[in-house]
Amino acid sequence: MPKPVITKQTRALFNALTEQGIKAELEYWDGYKHVDIAVIDAKIYIEIDGLHHFTDTKQIEADFKRNHFSDGDDFDTIHIPNSVIDNYLPKVTTAIIKVIKKRQK
C-alpha cells in the first residue's frame, strides 16, 4: 500500500484543530483504510477531498465503500472539499470543534 499523501488542506485543518486543544490523529488507520483526520473520542473521521472525489465515477463508488466500513464502528465521516478549507478554514474549524465538544460530553 502506498504511503498516504498529506495535502496542505489536510495539514491546515489538522493544525487548526490541534492548536485549539483537540486531540486528533493524522492519517489514522482504522483497519481498512487511512482517514485524513480522526478524532477518536468523538467518533469523527474527517476526509479532505479534491475535486476528483466529486467528479470521478470510480472515486465516488470507492468512497461509498470506504464510508461503509466506518458504519460498524459508529464513526461518522464528514467530507470537506479542498476549496472549502482554502476559503473557510476558521469557520470550518470552529464548527467542527463545537460538534466534537458536544460528542465528548
**CATH code of the domain covering residue 44:** 3.40.960.10
3 domain residue, yes or no: no
Instruction: Give the separation between CA 3 and CA 50, rounded to whole angstroms.
Output: 18
pLDDT band at 91 (very low <50, low <70, confident <90, very high): very high
40 domain residue, yes or no: yes
14 domain residue, yes or no: yes
- State the distance between the two ends of the chain, measured CA to CA, in whole angstroms: 37
Q: Please compute Rg for the chain using Cα positions.
A: 13
83 domain residue, yes or no: yes
Buried b (16+ CB within 10 A) or exposed e, 33-72: bbbbbbbeebebbbbbbeeebeeeeeeeeebeebbeebee
pLDDT value for 2: 61
104 domain residue, yes or no: no
68 domain residue, yes or no: yes
In terms of residue numbers, what domain contains 41?
A: 8-96
- The count of domains in the chain is 1
64 domain residue, yes or no: yes
Task: Provide mean pLDDT across the span 19-42.
Answer: 92
Residues 6 or more apart whose Cβ sits within 8 Å of residue 1: none
pTM as predicted: 0.85
2 domain residue, yes or no: no
List pLDDT tens digits, range 34-90: 899 999 999 999 999 876 767 778 876 876 776 666 555 788 889 999 999 999 999
